[in-house]
Amino acid sequence: MTDSTSRPIKRALVSVYHKDGIEVLAEAFKKAGTAVVSTGSTAKKLQELGVDVTPVEKVTGFPESLDGRVKTLDPHVHAGILADMTNPEHVAQLKELGIEPFDMVVVNLYPFADTVRSGANEADTIEKIDIGGPSMVRGAAKNSATVAVITDKNDYALAAERVENGEGFTLAERRYLAAKAFAHTASYDATIIEWARTAWPKPDTLKDLQTEESAAAEKDTELFPQTYTRTWDKSTVLRYGENSHQEAALYLDPLSSGDFAHAELLHGKPMSYNNYVDADSAWRSCWDFAPRIAVAVVKHSNPCGLAIGDTVAEAHRKAHACDPMSAYGGVIAANATVSLEMAQAVKHIFTEVIVAPDYEPEALELLKTKKNLRILRVPTKPVLDQSIRQIDGGLLVQTTDRIDAPGDDPANWQLVSGEAADAATLKDLEFAWKAIRSVKSNAILIAHDEATVGVGMGQVNRVDSAKLAVERANTLADGANRTKGSVAASDAFFPFADGFQILADAGVTAVVQPGGSIRDEEVIEAAKKAGVTMYLTGTRHFFH
């Protein structure tokens, strides 16, 4: 393999926080007689493994200081890393300064993200912001002309082989390792940025100095920074993506834990790409109703049943009853502990995934008898504050659509037709309005007794969605007309009266919708003529 660009590894600098896997390098260093410079606990570990180590303070002539904050930040270290040994002037300068070059740098960084997730206080978190480590990594990566940099423990075995056989790495290999190293430090810094954005917001003393214009600009920058710097860590390579010919992986936010992406798989096969998409949608849907107990049944990212109940079993029964046919092969999410009674009902339904904050022991035992059911436990409610959608060459970023706009409060609704809803009807309208947030447009949802009874979604016009919602409400085996006396919600305005008329003709007695169409008066007149109560919210929940 040796070519003209290969450089044997005669001297290495090793400074790692995580020591796992370092044994293989230690063995190679001993066999090859590599000169090793190391720091603190790393030096101690290597010495325990039988490596002849030169402590870094012997190289720098300066003791480790400031509680370990300063130990490698010294020209004797960084000149040895940054000297391009293919440059005669660099070689001459090192000789003049009495500094030896490094051929390989092995570094991993302080566990900043782990420290944040642990709930550590600010002082302890700050101490895990690595300074010397990233400096060495970036220096070695910049000087990949002559230095190999190792930041991934999965590369230890390869590095050990190249140390032991005396070949070292080729230029192309060093460049590749350098690219990995730059990605490593970039991800590390992005994690710190994300933490600091929340932990260190702009103080009021600086806000007081702003003009109205600069305050508006600052708000925009806080929501949407000039450079969108985020990082996610690869967790799992999935079997395939949305379709079998697509490849996919799951990435995790390094600063979070306990959320849906970190769900604990209690039983069943590994999650697929589509499982994650549907289960996340169901998880968000049921939490829209907190603190009330709610259950969502989702298929293809759309709810085929949503309901509130006094118990989780009741909520599931009502949600499943909306569309039992579509629930086959779906995903179930509950925002409360799954009871044995609910598990007994789920046992007889083919379900891909069930997700909940917890399970009664007997319920979990029963659900585990379903071989192919994936059982997830997620202890925390959704907290995502932004949604991101990739387009070719860019990202679309927006704040998360939640039930928190002024128009989401029934007290702010405008009654434009019929009599004011009684308490029971108003409860159903409020439920329907919250539920419509989860339905992909054009969305029409029919509800009764705080449960969906018919959902029309994904159509390119609101008339077809209305027809679909009515059809699904009235095609159960018992032949019951579930639209009569029910209420309905529309995620956006009715552009014409025809979509509303389908609901009125089916027996819906009250409708809630955003309004805002140039034909609002036409729709309102149709509602008055049909004797249907209609409220306008002034807010929409359109979901593409």
Question: Mind telling me the catalytic residues?
Answer: 142, 300
Cis peptide before 442 (omega within 30 of 0): yes
Alpha helix ranges (H) inside 224-329? 273-287, 312-322, 324-327
Map tokens 């370092």 to a residue.
Answer: 22
Q: E strand or H helix at 308, and its extent? A: strand 302-309
CB contact set of 527 (below 8 Å; sequence gap of 6+): 416, 417, 418, 500, 504, 511, 533, 534
Rounded-to-integer distance, Cα 429 and Cα 486, Å: 9
* Contact status, residue 455 vs residue 439, Cβ threshold 8 Å: yes
* Contact status, residue 339 vs residue 313, Cβ threshold 8 Å: yes
Taking Cα atoms as reference points, which of 254, 274, 276, 345 lies closest to residue 307? 345
Crossing angle of helices 520-530/497-505, nearest 10°?
A: 20
Measured from the Cβ of residue 87, the count of other Cβ atoms closer than 10 Å reads: 12
Map tokens 């306008």 to a residue.
Answer: 536
Rounded-to-integer distance, Cα 242 and Cα 321, Å: 28
Q: C-alpha angle 333/339/340, rounded to 5°?
A: 120
* Contact status, residue 452 vs residue 321, Cβ threshold 8 Å: no
* Contact status, residue 109 vs residue 17, Cβ threshold 8 Å: yes
DSSP string, 354-382: EEES-B-HHHHHHHTTSTT-EEEE--S--
Map tokens 């979070």 to a residue.
Answer: 256
Rounded-to-integer distance, Cα 271 and Cα 279, Å: 10
First to last CA, the chain: 53
Rounded-to-integer distance, Cα 128 and Cα 115, Å: 7
